[in-house]
Structure 1
Amino acid sequence: MEPICKYFLLSLPESIDSKDWLKQSLNNGDCQLNDFKIPEFQIGTLDSLVQESEELSKIDVQLQTSISKIVDILNNVLENGSFRTVNSKNVLDYVETFNWNSSKYRLDKSIKSLVEIISNEAINLDSDVRTSYSNYQTAKSNFLAADRKRNGDLSIKSLHDIVKPEDFILDSENLTTILIAVPKNMNDDFKKSYETLTPFVIPRSAKLISFDQEYNLYSVSLFKKYEQDFINGSREKKWQPRIDFTYNEEKLNEMRKEFDLTKTNEQKLKNELIRLAKTAYSEILNNWIHIKAIRTYVESILRYGLPPQFNCFLIKFNKQNFKNFDKSKTELIKKFGYLGGDGFENGSNLNEYASLVDPDFEPFVIYNIEIV
């Protein structure tokens, strides 16, 4: 799924005069730069930060995957309409003006507690959307089956609006009536051979009830004893016995209601899914950006040390300059690669903590944010 916008979330030490260079020189100054405000958190020990870093890496990927799935669902079920809003803002405005929600995620809690609260919210919502989507898919499948019965050809469609009581022998101990959908190119063969297909077929009992472009629908009466033989013989002839249909007034009334009931249920569950998925998109993306903020804070301490003294920037790439995304990262590494020390240039991992938690070690803290 192609993103609608890409960002670098970049953290650099305060001691570096980086903002002017990022504005004026990165990608020839053709990047939108925003400050990304991250509050101070309850840090704990460095060992606890290493553990949280590992957990944050997993949650980051999990929430991004969840958002992509929700976008895919909404694209499938929405005929039109926008859904990319977070906290009543356009999603890009929300990301670019991000502020930590301290009333909901209190900063007197530990990083571990905040990660648990935020991730659990997102995971529960994701589970609700998946359940709702599964229910909708079942309802849609039932509706499509009912629609085929109503609008398909005579070999599969419901016959409740076609047949009449006088088309059947009813309440007989010995006789029964079978409906046969005969392909039109086999009509002559049917007329010639149906009476002798099995013993005790009532002569001249075949009655044309209906027809469409593909089939003629006949009723044939015979002794019940030979009903299964007649069905088997019809199938060998490539006729389509409609054994799914038995004339029963109560059953017919139920079938008349089936289409409307499945259509109503499909539409009801579709509307519920759309409402839930829109809410989930907003909430989980909000959760995701909060997780990005915590992850950037944790990694910045592990990279640059204590006390926390770093600046965070959001570098925006619209679709028209996606081609410069990788090029810009190369420029950043060229400019700020010295932060990794001499060892970064020859590939060794200088930072004990970073090497433990980040296999794609960069000389500074940088994460991709792709909005889909």
Structure 2
Amino acid sequence: MSESKMFWLISAPNREGQDIFEQVNQKTAKESNCSENKKFATPSLRVGTLNSLIALNDDLHRLDTFMENTAKKLAKQLGDLAGTKPKDKSLSIDGSPIQNYLSSFKWDDGKYSLKLTLQEIVDKLTTYTTKIDEELKTRAGEYSSLSSSLAAEERKTSGNLTVRSIQDLIPPEVLIQSEYITTAFVVIPKSQEKDFLQAYETLSEYVVARSAKRLATDPDFFLYSVFLFKKYYDNFKHKVNEKKWVIREFKADNAADLNKSSQETQKLTESKKNYKASFQRWCKISFPEAFTCWIHLKVIRLFVESVLRFGIPFNFQAILMRPHKPDDKNLRDILYNQFKYLGSAHISGKNELEEGEKFFPYVYIPIDCEM
């Protein structure tokens, strides 16, 4: 069975003479084997005013979702470019799996100085992530445009006779474009060839008798040429469409386009290949940036909610838990019994739903690392 990629980041206030981590670890890991636990190092962030914490806390939920989505879009894009589900190695942080980064998390004081206010740190995290998110949209759009252009060119020389280019299938002797006579090119299903040969001369006036000539074939269709008076071409085309056959337009002065199209296909193929390699490199570089921004924001969420819940001076223990099941009811019950003494007017029973969200006596921040 594969390991769960759901983590729980929880916190509870320290109690004199008690080791909160050891109590939780004893009950949830050693006795019940519900989870793997590690102490989680939280930095001494600047608290600020109560009003600023409350205002910031409202924004943190929204930003958490935004940053999570950005990281997961990068992971998905890497998978799409590779044609497979992204491997843990391709989603590493400094060469280590993202789970290891979480387990040994250290606050990046070089980027997010602890001298800054919480709002200033959040603004920096948001700026970094927004820049990555916007560039991802731009790069993905450019790659999609390249792919669409290449597919359109490839359809000109591939696909069945109803969609592919017929430039290379028309011999000069059947191409008549005089003042009075023209050539119509008709694609018909192979199963309807007999019907076509019996009907084409009477579909319109002034169709040249016995002029139909088979020019090309593919697994499902035939391409025929038919001579007729130019004046009645539109009427003939209309009658062909009524039969659910396909008229293919051909202009003599475009015959040279086939070579040009082939060159364009080669050019687009090379451009797409080069862009894809560049895009993959950028995603591999940007994913760690987006993921670490997201986790730093999680830490700020934990800090802010812990201070709002447990007060100041802050003195709480954070624990990173990796449940063996993504949402283990037994684990929830153990934690509830462990921390029910923290209950307040907000909690009247186990895991009561408050405003559509689960509310626990301890601070709970989920981290879904399933990319």
- TM-score normalised to the size of structure 2? 0.88
- Which amino acid in 1 is paired with 2:123? E
Q: Deviations over 1:28-74 (max 9, x none)?
A: 35222212111112221111111111111111122122223333333
* Equivalent pair of 2:181/2:227 in contact (CA under 8 Å): yes
Counterpart residue number, 1:351 = none
Counterpart residue number, 1:352 = none
Counterpart residue number, 1:23 = 25
Q: Secondary structure at the match of 2:222?
A: strand
Aligned positions, number: 358
* Equivalent pair of 2:168/2:255 in contact (CA under 8 Å): no
Q: Deviations over 1:321-355 (max 9, x none)?
A: 216634212211111111124x355369xxxxxx9
Q: Give the whole-Å Cα distance in 2 for the aligned partners of 1:205 and 1:73.
A: 54
Counterpart residue number, 2:314 = 308
Tell me: CA distance 1:324–1:216, structure 2 relative to 1, closer, same or farther (3 Å).
Answer: closer
Q: Give the C-alpha shift of residue 185 in structure 1.
A: 1.9
* Equivalent pair of 1:22/1:29 in contact (CA under 8 Å): no
Q: Secondary structure at the match of 2:53?
A: helix
Identical positions, percent: 29
Q: Give the C-alpha shift of residue 358 in structure 1.
A: 10
Q: Give the C-alpha shift of residue 115 in structure 1.
A: 0.2
Q: Give the C-alpha shift of residue 239 in structure 1.
A: 2.0
Q: Give the whole-Å Cα distance in 1 for the aligned partners of 2:123 and 2:172.
A: 66
Q: Deviations over 1:80-103 (max 9, x none)?
A: 554211233211111111111111
Structure 1 runs not aligned, ≥5 long: 349-354
Q: Give the whole-Å Cα distance in 2 for the aligned partners of 1:323 and 1:110.
A: 34
Tell me: CA distance 1:41–1:217, structure 2 relative to 1, closer, same or farther (3 Å).
Answer: same
Q: Give the C-alpha shift of residue 78 in structure 1.
A: 1.4
Q: Secondary structure at the match of 1:41?
A: coil
Counterpart residue number, 2:251 = 246
User: Which is worse superposed, 22-31 or 299-308?
Assistant: 22-31
* Equivalent pair of 2:6/2:326 in contact (CA under 8 Å): no
* Equivalent pair of 2:64/2:297 in contact (CA under 8 Å): yes
2:11 counterpart of 1:11: yes
After TM superposition, list the pairs within 5 Å mapping 1:113-132 onto structure 2.
113-132=120-139
Give the RMSD, CA atoms, in angstroms.
2.5
- Which amino acid in 1 is paired with 2:363? V
Structure 2 runs not aligned, ≥5 long: none
Tell me: CA distance 1:67–1:26, structure 2 relative to 1, closer, same or farther (3 Å).
Answer: same
Counterpart residue number, 1:180 = 186
Q: Secondary structure at the match of 1:75?
A: helix
2:105 counterpart of 1:103: no
* Equivalent pair of 1:41/1:111 in contact (CA under 8 Å): yes
- TM-score normalised to the size of structure 1? 0.88
Equivalent residue in structure 2 for 1:273, among 262, 279, 284: 279
- Which amino acid in 2 is paired with 1:74? L
Counterpart residue number, 1:299 = 305
* Equivalent pair of 1:23/1:29 in contact (CA under 8 Å): no
Q: Secondary structure at the match of 1:25?
A: helix
Q: Give the whole-Å Cα distance in 2 for the aligned partners of 1:324 and 1:311.
A: 22
Counterpart residue number, 1:163 = 170
